[in-house]
Amino acid sequence: MDRTAWTMRPLAESDARGAELRTGRGVTVMRCVRTAFDAKDTPLEISEQLIAFDDDLAVMASQ
């Protein structure tokens, strides 16, 4: 791998993947995508995680 790019965005309220992580509390769910590139800028690997944040805790769910 030559470089890695990260993208972090709030998960849409309508996205069912975040429903179990939200559980009615004031939780923010972020969608994080990591893309690894080789020296020719070809994507080699894409990884997606969902991260839920509240006042006390961060929980990660990988896909």
CA distance 18 to 1: 30
Q: Model pTM?
A: 0.67
Could you tell me the pLDDT band of residue 61, with boundaries at 50, 70 and 90? Answer: low
pLDDT of residue 15: 83
pLDDT above 90 for 45: yes
pLDDT tens, position by position, 16-39? 877 777 766 678 888 999 999 999
pLDDT of residue 29: 85
CA distance 10 to 42: 26
- Domain map (residue ranges) of the chain: 3-62
CA distance 54 to 35: 26
The arrangement of strands across the sheet holding 3-10 comes to 3-10, 28-37, 43-53, 58-62
